[in-house]
Amino acid sequence: MTSSVLYTGALRTTCTHLKSGSSFETDAPIDNNGKGERFSPTDLMATSLAACMITVMGIKARTMDMDLNDVKIDVLKNMKSDPRRIGGIELTFHIPEALKNIDAKTKAILKNTGETCPVIKSIHPDIEVKIDWGAWA
Question: Is 18 in the same domain as 45?
Answer: no
Question: Is 70 in the same domain as 26?
Answer: no
Q: What CA–CA distance (Å, rounded) separates 77 from 85?
A: 10
Question: Is 45 in the same domain as 28?
Answer: no
Question: Is 61 in the same domain as 26?
Answer: no
Residue 126, classed as helix, strand or coil, is coil
Question: Is 19 in the same domain as 66?
Answer: no
pLDDT digits (tens, 9 = 90+) for 53-103: 999 999 999 999 999 999 999 999 999 999 999 999 999 999 999 999 999
CATH number at residue 81: 3.30.300.20
What is the domain extent for residue 85? 41-136
Question: Is 19 in the same domain as 83?
Answer: no
Q: Nearest CA to 50 among 96, 94, 16?
A: 94
User: What is the model's pTM?
Assistant: 0.95
Domain count, the chain: 2
